[in-house]
């Protein structure tokens, strides 16, 4: 701040303190940086002259320089009460108020300072800080630019300009401002740290890590810097190091809510969601703002506790009704809860508050998919892609809607974006040349599984077609499926993921084969039903199972870890209407929910085949021995369809893309009959329709 001249006086007779002379000596020490020596002199003056303007305002400034704003505040107010005509004192008071979190009062002090002294650039810089604290970043930037126009060029001004630009989403412009601050003050640790955050915003994470490293060299134990370092380490996919940095920040500053919040994300990266939830609750206890509620909601969503996540997002909106992020988050929770119309309303509000955000139209597309409005969903995904053409999730979900609509060629092209999705399973052979449908004569082709067992069974039909083009075909697939796959023609070698394959020229994931073959609805190859090894085993099953009844296979649930298992799996007890006289039912699955065990044990006419299903070969043989199968969307459905066994497939209201829309048959599996659950309909109604349809497909064994 500018200093005002102070008239020097003499010590009076009798050793009394001369206020002017003592204040001058204190000021000289103050300017030399010897604050400890200056402070007693100022206090000595005030002990005898409590209304001494110079001693009051200079001692207030001294406390501010010591980062003691609470001590500075009453001194500066007393100075203004003595003489309120000095802009620099109002400016210093404003700075202390900002430090104490009283930005609105600070703004009034800066405005008074500027009115008294329009050329006081420090007051404009301080005013910019107050406006930033109030979230009025555009006004803050304008005020800081006014200070620059008046000749201000201090490092702090450039740093604060960078902060305002960052808050306005202009990180690219913020970088030169931070560079200007550092050029004027190379040891400005805060500017190095802020530069790191701007680089992180721009996904320039390696550079960001270097910048925060410089800040920590200058201030090794700054908890805010350690927090920033933790965020950047997460972005660099180094979650364990990120967690260590955040934990160190919290040792130094246990009340640092941001570090608790960022620790949540690092723990989620490490799949330690329960610990993450505890950390989110610690953050919320420290600061019950919208961001803290949203942080807890994010963890609850990962734990599939979507009802609680929706409630937490609603609490965030009570704290900040203008939070576009919270409206968007609540919409996502409602999508997971199947409340798609409400979700659309949330996304509409979010779009108004947060225009230009790619995720909002993307999430709206997901809600529209949930309503079965796939054309509208595609339009929403296109809107997201217009904002960010590289948005892999939007490409992926757009492809799922296209596939569901039967636009297989365009859909499978978009399906290739699966490799770029966040947290996508790595492409094991992605470094090798991809076969995209070209000539194969005399070449070795590696075909490899990448998703679930059902997906591998579905795409196995393409393997002989590749061999028929003259390729030597190697197949890498899940070991449980080897008994089935080794019966397919054209496979030269069969091995499991993790095993070293023989040398090959080209590779293609199994789920990319429809694209490579240019598959359309009318060119889907039929499943390979002639698996003679299983036919031999089926004879043994046929002899063992009772005759004279309808043999009905049942599969009510699949892998509980499947992302959408809660939509597809059905309690076994709901299949009871199928167990009527003349029907002998058999459970054909290897896993069963604990809640279903009691019904199975207490139900005559329902035999547990799990002890005999020692592999997919046995499961295939058992399915061939059935007259009909009723199943949910698991690998059993794919296997029954491949074998040609008559099967009734129970589908949720938003089925997987491969079952298409509004049809009772499947071009992938002619022996399957599809039974679709309408929105809001209970599974009981669907199973009742299956029960009525069973006699039409039954083959009673005499």
C-beta of residue 166 within 8 angstroms of C-beta of residue 194: yes
Whether 701 has a pLDDT exceeding 50, the answer reads no
Q: How far apart are CA 544 and CA 541, in angstroms?
A: 5
- And the tokens for 564? 């959408």
Bridge-based pairing of strands 606-608 and 583-587 is: parallel
Whether 78 has a pLDDT exceeding 90, the answer reads yes
Q: Which residue has the tokens 């197949």?
A: 475
Q: What is the mean pLDDT of residues 240-249?
A: 96
Rounded to two decimals, the pTM is 0.74
Q: How far apart are CA 195 and CA 211, in angstroms?
A: 7
pLDDT tens readout for residues 543-557: 888 888 899 999 998
Q: How many CB atoms lie within 10 A of CB 63?
A: 21
DSSP state of 317: H
Q: How far apart are CA 310 and CA 330, in angstroms?
A: 5
According to the CATH classification, is domain 356-424 in 1.25.40.10? Answer: yes
Q: How far apart are CA 144 and CA 123, in angstroms?
A: 10
Non-local (6+) Cβ contacts of 195 within 8 A are 162, 175, 178, 179, 182, 211
> What is the predicted pLDDT for the residue at 524?
96
- And the tokens for 14? 């009798």
Q: How far apart are CA 360 and CA 325, in angstroms?
A: 9
Non-local (6+) Cβ contacts of 281 within 8 A are 296
Identify which has the larger pLDDT, 109 or 542. Answer: 109
Q: How far apart are CA 699 and CA 302, in angstroms?
A: 46
Whether 670 has a pLDDT exceeding 90, the answer reads yes
Whether 8 has a pLDDT exceeding 50, the answer reads no
Q: What is the mean pLDDT of residues 359-365?
A: 95
Q: What is the mean pLDDT of residues 13-41?
A: 84
Whether 466 has a pLDDT exceeding 90, the answer reads yes
- And the tokens for 554? 């049942």
pLDDT tens readout for residues 561-570: 766 777 789 9
C-beta of residue 497 within 8 angstroms of C-beta of residue 448: yes
For residue 6, give the 3-state DSSP assignment: coil
**b/e map 270-288, b = 16+ CB within 10 Å:** eebbebbbbbbbbbbebbe
Q: How far apart are CA 316 and CA 419, in angstroms?
A: 34
The structural architecture, per CATH, of the domain 288-352 is Alpha Horseshoe (1.25)
The residues with which 550 forms a beta bridge, in sequence order, are 583
Q: How far apart are CA 120 and CA 147, in angstroms?
A: 8
Q: What are phi and psi of 286, to 5 degrees?
A: -80, -35
Q: How many CB atoms lie within 10 A of CB 45?
A: 24
DSSP state of 434: B
Q: How far apart are CA 651 and CA 4, in angstroms?
A: 82
Q: Which residue has the tokens 């058999």?
A: 586
DSSP 571-622: -GGGGGGG--TTEEEEE--S---HHHHHHHHH-TTEEE-GGG--SHHHHHHH
C-beta of residue 345 within 8 angstroms of C-beta of residue 369: no
Q: How far apart are CA 230 and CA 212, in angstroms?
A: 10
Q: What is the mean pLDDT of residues 327-344?
A: 95
> What is the predicted pLDDT for the residue at 617?
85
pLDDT tens readout for residues 94-153: 989 988 989 899 999 999 999 999 989 889 999 998 998 888 989 999 999 999 999 889
Q: Do domains 356-424 and 532-697 have the same CATH topology?
A: no
Q: How far apart are CA 267 and CA 296, in angstroms?
A: 13
Whether 10 has a pLDDT exceeding 50, the answer reads no
Q: How far apart are CA 124 and CA 130, in angstroms?
A: 10
C-beta of residue 134 within 8 angstroms of C-beta of residue 108: no
Q: Which residue has the tokens 């604050």?
A: 35
pLDDT tens readout for residues 386-404: 999 999 999 999 999 999 9
> What is the predicted pLDDT for the residue at 4?
31
> What is the predicted pLDDT for the residue at 486?
87
Helix, strand, coil % (nearest 5) of the chain? 60, 5, 30
pLDDT tens readout for residues 477-527: 999 999 889 888 889 999 999 899 999 999 999 999 999 999 999 999 999
C-beta of residue 657 within 8 angstroms of C-beta of residue 633: no
Q: How far apart are CA 594 and CA 587, in angstroms?
A: 14
Bridge-based pairing of strands 672-676 and 647-651 is: parallel
Give the start-to-end residue ranges of the domains of the chain.
288-352, 356-424, 444-523, 532-697
Whether 696 has a pLDDT exceeding 50, the answer reads no
> What is the predicted pLDDT for the residue at 567?
79
- Number of residues that make up the chain: 702
DSSP state of 671: T
> What is the predicted pLDDT for the residue at 663?
93
pLDDT tens readout for residues 680-694: 899 999 999 999 988
> What is the predicted pLDDT for the residue at 76?
92
Whether 1 has a pLDDT exceeding 70, the answer reads no
Identify which has the larger pLDDT, 529 or 479. Answer: 479
Q: How many CB atoms lie within 10 A of CB 699?
A: 10
List the one residue out of 355, 353, 333, 356 whose CA is nearest residue 343.
333
Whether 679 has a pLDDT exceeding 90, the answer reads no
Whether 577 has a pLDDT exceeding 60, the answer reads yes
The residues with which 676 forms a beta bridge, in sequence order, are 651
C-beta of residue 369 within 8 angstroms of C-beta of residue 353: no
List the one residue out of 37, 106, 112, 39 whose CA is nearest residue 71.
39
C-beta of residue 690 within 8 angstroms of C-beta of residue 675: yes
Whether 702 has a pLDDT exceeding 60, the answer reads no
Whether 698 has a pLDDT exceeding 50, the answer reads no
**Which CATH superfamily groups domain 532-697?**
Glycogen Phosphorylase B; (3.40.50.2000)
- Cα 149 to the chain's mean position, in Å? 43
Whether 268 has a pLDDT exceeding 60, the answer reads yes
DSSP 531-544: -HHHHHHHHHHHHH
Q: CA distances (Å), 470 to each of 284, 393, 438, 444, 591, in order? A: 63, 36, 11, 9, 40
List the one residue out of 261, 244, 235 whose CA is nearest residue 316.
261
C-beta of residue 120 within 8 angstroms of C-beta of residue 93: no
Phi-psi region of 275 (alpha: psi -120 to 50; beta: other; left: phi over 0): alpha
pLDDT tens readout for residues 137-180: 899 999 999 999 998 899 999 999 999 998 888 989 999 999 99
Bridge-based pairing of strands 606-608 and 628-632 is: unpaired
């Amino acid at each position: 701040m500018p200093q005002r001249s102070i008239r020097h006086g003499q010590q009076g007779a009798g050793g009394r303190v001369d206020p002017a002379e003592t204040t001058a000596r204190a000021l000289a020490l103050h300017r030399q940086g010897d604050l400890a020596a200056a402070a007693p002199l100022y206090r000595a003056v005030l002990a005898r002259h409590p209304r001494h303007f110079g001693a009051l305002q200079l001692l207030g400034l001294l406390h501010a320089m010591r980062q003691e704003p609470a001590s500075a505040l009453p001194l500066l107010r007393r100075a203004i009460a003595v003489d309120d005509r000095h802009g620099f004192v109002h400016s210093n008071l404003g700075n202390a108020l900002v430090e104490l979190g009283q930005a609105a009062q600070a703004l009034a002090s800066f405005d008074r300072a500027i009115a008294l002294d329009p050329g006081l650039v420090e007051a404009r810089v301080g005013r910019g800080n107050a406006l930033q604290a109030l979230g009025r970043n555009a006004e803050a930037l304008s005020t800081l630019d006014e200070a620059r126009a008046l000749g201000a060029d201090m490092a702090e001004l450039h740093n604060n300009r960078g902060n305002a630009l960052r808050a306005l989403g202009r990180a690219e412009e913020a970088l030169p401002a931070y560079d200007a601050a550092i050029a004027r003050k190379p040891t400005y640790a805060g500017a190095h740290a802020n530069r790191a955050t701007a680089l992180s915003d721009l996904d320039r994470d390696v550079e960001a890590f270097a910048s925060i490293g410089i800040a920590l060299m200058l201030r090794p134990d700054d908890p805010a810097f350690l927090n920033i370092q933790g965020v950047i380490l997460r972005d660099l996919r180094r979650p364990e190091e990120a967690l260590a940095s955040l934990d160190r920040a919290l040792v130094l500053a246990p009340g640092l809510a941001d570090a608790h919040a960022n620790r949540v994300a690092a723990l989620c990266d490490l799949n330690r969601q329960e610990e993450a939830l505890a950390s989110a609750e610690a953050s919320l206890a420290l600061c019950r703002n919208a961001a803290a509620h949203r942080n807890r909601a994010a963890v609850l969503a990962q734990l599939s506790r979507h009802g609680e996540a929706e409630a937490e997002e609603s609490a965030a909106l009570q704290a900040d009704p203008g939070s576009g992020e919270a409206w968007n988050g609540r919409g996502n929770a409602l999508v997971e809860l199947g409340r798609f119309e409400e979700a659309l309303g949330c996304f509409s509000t979010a779009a108004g508050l947060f225009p230009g955000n790619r995720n909002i139209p993307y999430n709206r597309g997901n809600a529209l998919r949930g309503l079965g409005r796939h054309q509208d969903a595609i339009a929403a995904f296109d809107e997201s892609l217009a904002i960010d053409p590289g948005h892999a999730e939007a490409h992926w979900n757009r492809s799922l809607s296209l596939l569901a609509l039967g636009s297989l060629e365009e859909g499978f092209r978009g399906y290739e974006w699966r490799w770029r999705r966040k947290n996508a399973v790595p492409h094991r052979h992605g470094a090798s040349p991809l076969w995209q449908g070209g000539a194969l004569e005399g070449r070795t082709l590696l075909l490899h599984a990448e998703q679930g067992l059902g997906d591998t069974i579905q795409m196995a039909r393409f393997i002989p077609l590749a061999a028929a083009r003259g390729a030597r075909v190697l197949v890498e697939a899940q070991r449980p499926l080897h008994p089935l796959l080794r019966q397919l023609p054209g496979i030269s070698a069969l091995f499991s993921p993790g095993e070293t394959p023989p040398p090959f020229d080209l590779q293609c994931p199994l789920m990319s084969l429809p694209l490579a073959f240019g598959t359309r609805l009318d060119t889907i190859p039929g499943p390979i039903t002639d698996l003679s090894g299983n036919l031999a085993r089926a004879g043994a099953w046929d002899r063992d199972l009772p005759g004279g009844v309808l043999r009905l296979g049942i599969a009510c649930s699949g892998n509980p870890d499947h992302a959408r298992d809660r939509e597809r799996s059905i309690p076994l007890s709901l299949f009871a209407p199928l167990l009527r006289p003349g029907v002998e039912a058999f459970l054909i699955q290897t896993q069963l929910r604990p809640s279903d065990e009691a019904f199975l044990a207490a139900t005559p006419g329902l035999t547990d085949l799990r002890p005999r299903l020692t592999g997919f070969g046995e499961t295939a043989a058992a399915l061939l021995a059935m007259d009909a199968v009723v199943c949910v969307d698991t690998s059993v459905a794919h296997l029954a369809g491949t074998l040609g066994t008559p099967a009734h497939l129970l589908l949720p209201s938003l089925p997987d893309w491969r079952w298409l829309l509004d049809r009772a048959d499947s071009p992938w599996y002619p022996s399957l009959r599809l039974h679709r659950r309408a929105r809001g309909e209970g599974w009981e109604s669907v199973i009742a329709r299956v029960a009525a349809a069973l006699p039409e497909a039954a083959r009673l064994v005499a």
